[in-house]
Amino acid sequence: MSQTASARMLTINEAAERAPGLSKWRIREMCVSGELPHLKAGKKYLINEQMLVGYLTKGMNEFAPADKPG
């Protein structure tokens, strides 16, 4: 039987707890600007935990659109 990893979604508060050096305000701004991929559920921003870890460890280059220069 294979195990599948479920996507854990974090609120802005939870993301700020896991991201040293990033405040709740900064994470919210990153979501609003599109810098950090997220889902919006009502008024809440939900961030995929794996995406956040990828952003913190590798940067957003892997998430940048292909047609964007640089």
Residue 49 vs residues 5, 17, 39: alpha-carbon distances, Å: 12, 12, 12
- Kindly provide the b/e burial profile for residues 36-52, where b requires at least 16 CB atoms within 10 angstroms of the residue's own CB: bebeeeeeebbbbeebb
Mean pLDDT on 10-36:
94
pLDDT score recorded for residue 1: 47
Q: Pairing relation of β-strands 39-41 and 9-10?
A: unpaired
Residues 61-70: pLDDT tens digits? 555 555 545 4
Instruction: List the one residue out of 3, 26, 65 whose CA is nearest residue 52.
Output: 26
Q: What is the pTM of this model?
A: 0.71
pLDDT score recorded for residue 2: 47
pLDDT score recorded for residue 39: 94
Residue 39, both tokens: 């889902």
Residues 29-54: pLDDT tens digits? 999 999 999 999 999 999 999 989 88
